[in-house]
Structure 1
Amino acid sequence: MIRAYAAFAAGGELQPFDYDPGELNQNEVEIDVVFCGICHSDLSMVDNEWGISQYPLVPGHEVVGTIAARGENVTNLEVGDTVGLGWHAGYCMTCSNCMQGDHNMCTSAEGTIVGHHGGFADKVRAQAASVIKLPEGIDLDSAGPLFCGGITVFNPLIQFGIKPTDSVAVIGIGGLGHMALQFLNAWGCQVTAFTSSEAKTKEAMELGAHRVINSRDPEALEGAAGQFDLVLSTVNAKMDWNKYIATLKTRGRLHLVGATLEPLDLHLFPMLMGQRSVSASPVGAPANIARMLEFAVRHNIKPIIEKFRFDQVNDALAHLRSGRARYRIVLTK
């Protein structure tokens, strides 16, 4: 039996939930969970904001633990290995996306918390292809958030060939944004932080920003016109996106990784005349997650975390809902 915490209805508090996972699949591993980060996506799934939740729902897709058992076909992981598991618990491994290494784009991918029980538990199972062995020297306490938030902001650097000579701005200095600043600074970019909170200016600079712009100041936004190769939005709120498109250079890109549910109101001509683009992306493929982890160790990049015990999971979720989390929450035994 696996002992977990599950929501039994949309928006409900998590309760103890035991389930029998059955026989271990020949391509799966079972992980003894030691740490599990809490992501805003966990809240979205608990609340069924996206209309895809199934109850009872066991959240948790930023897992760090050790391999307790492996299926007979698993050769890339050993019992006792320290590993991580992110948003995806499995892939079809045969579609064109998987065959090209874009596993995160697999239309048949199995979500760790979508129709599958996640990591708010003592154990979790996943296909071995989606489980990544952690590199030596990584901080285990804070590694979990890298498997969702970290790869979400790192993946665009790979996908769009961001260069060390590029000028990049980040909208929102929170759970995603504070990691983006660190990655971009280590990548070699000129880094600007857009924030609506003056109180975050000093911290944004400490995290890697070379400059901070108050996004509530119209003159400051206008003064940034035509300056950025990439503007990375990490917020899930409705914004005046046209103001940020105006800050892009010719052929610049506004890229969204924050899961806003509001439609985007965009003026075409500033995009057309400057050949600017707008895009979005989800997490990343296993190979890029492994690259991201190695890069994080090399440059000592760590999420800023707050810890709660697993039996304090409802307190932890309430803290996240309050907006006071700084900046990622991790459950620990």
Structure 2
Amino acid sequence: MITAKARAVDGPDKPFRPAEIQRRDLDSHDVLIEIQYAGICHSDIHTAHGEWGPVNYPLVPGHEIAGVVTAVGPLVTKYKIGDRVGVGCMVDSCGDCEHCRNGEEQYCHNGKTDTYAAVDKYGEPTQGGYSTHIVVTENFVLRIPDNMELDAAAPLLCAGITTYSPLNHWNAGPGKKVAVVGMGGLGHMAVQIAHAMGAEVTVLSQTLKKKEDGLELGADDYYATSDLETFEKLAGRFDLIINTVSAKINLDAYLGLLAVDGTLVNVGAPAEPVSLSVINLIGHRRSYAGSMIGGIRETQEMLDFCAKHSITPKIEVISADQIDEAYERVLASDVKYRFVIDTSTM
């Protein structure tokens, strides 16, 4: 077994504390990664706080992981010692179902293995990237392009693929009008990616306080949703709306912004149920959909796309002792736009 230093939380209202966790010895196709940076995702906060269901504490969150390969199993062919790599939201899947065979392991019929708060095929609880080392089967490791810094690469493993996948699936590109709801960790990635794909991009945010940032990142327009005139002015305008916020919104108001055949896609995951009036779908053949991260093949495609177009998240690097403070600031929308933990401070 391999001992790794980590930061763990013991309950929904508990602070993070230093911990040591055990990583399994390398199996034939396993890769040992020395983690250098780990992003903080809103999903980490939901899970640590027990908002998405029961949690097996102590918990080490983190599924935006960037580091360097330090050892490989005897049958590993994809990676070698010294390679710059990443790990995202999942570390395994059945590999046999239709979805896995199609490269969409995130929708594994038999259930993917999440990077943390899950149970792996060995019957052990998975622990995430707020740690110094992790062991992952090679098929779930991503190669980080050479022209991308590891600290900036980390958030792409969730925030990047979570927004790239729906934009790719619903064909954002030249001639398409795309709106991004929320200008946070996910939203600021969606703006950059949609812009690089060639779409006309509009940000819909509660206020205009981040307007300058949004326009700098590639948005063509920026509107405040606190202004009711926004919904009148933009009615029927968009082909695709990516909703990145993790709170309840007035879905009917946003559906009214879609053109005929337009789609509103949720990537933010509110803890509470949501509701809508079906008439707002029927009237203009609109769709309301959801999207969850992306498969390994698409995640690698996203990394290469971001490297090609010089797309990186805006980050604030913190020490391991600042995780609790970072969580509070995320909940207060006081970050531009993603916290990344320097794991050397573990």
Question: More deviation in 240-249 or 102-111?
Answer: 102-111
Q: Does the C-alpha gap of structure 1 residues 117 and 165 become closer, same or farther in structure 2, counting only changes over 3 Å?
A: same
Partner of 2:122: none
Contact 1:46 1:59 in 2 (8 A): yes
| Alignment TM-score, normalising by the size of structure 1 | 0.96
Q: Does the C-alpha gap of structure 1 residues 270 and 84 become closer, same or farther in structure 2, counting only changes over 3 Å?
A: same
Partner of 2:256: 246
Distance in 2 separating the partners of 1:289 and 1:239: 28
Structure-to-structure mapping, 1:308-323, within 5 angstroms: 308-323=318-333
* 1:236 shift after superposition: 1.1
| Amino acid paired to 1:177 | G
Distance in 2 separating the partners of 1:11 and 1:237: 20
User: What SS does the corresponding residue of 1:198 show, helix, strand or coil?
Assistant: coil
> 1:301-333, CA deviations, whole angstroms, 9 ceiling, x for partnerless residues?
111111112243333333333331111000112
Distance in 2 separating the partners of 1:168 and 1:22: 44
Distance in 1 separating the partners of 2:256 and 2:12: 39
Distance in 1 separating the partners of 2:54 and 2:336: 28
Partner of 1:127: 137
Q: How many corresponding residue pairs?
A: 333
Contact 2:208 2:223 in 1 (8 A): no
Partner of 1:178: 188
Is 1:291 equivalent to 2:298 in the alignment? no
Partner of 2:87: 85
Question: More deviation in 307-316 or 208-217?
Answer: 307-316
Partner of 1:203: 213
Structure-to-structure mapping, 1:148-167, within 5 angstroms: 148-167=158-177
Identity of aligned residues (%): 35
Is 1:112 equivalent to 2:115 in the alignment? yes
> 1:160-200, CA deviations, whole angstroms, 9 ceiling, x for partnerless residues?
22332100001111111011111111110011110111211
Contact 2:24 2:135 in 1 (8 A): no
CA RMSD of aligned residues (A): 1.3
Distance in 2 separating the partners of 1:215 and 1:85: 35
Partner of 2:292: 282
| Amino acid paired to 2:167 | L
Partner of 1:4: 6
* 1:52 shift after superposition: 4.2
Question: More deviation in 309-318 or 162-171?
Answer: 309-318
Contact 2:172 2:198 in 1 (8 A): no
User: What SS does the corresponding residue of 2:136 show, helix, strand or coil?
Assistant: strand
| Alignment TM-score, normalising by the size of structure 2 | 0.93
Q: Does the C-alpha gap of structure 1 residues 81 and 52 become closer, same or farther in structure 2, counting only changes over 3 Å?
A: farther
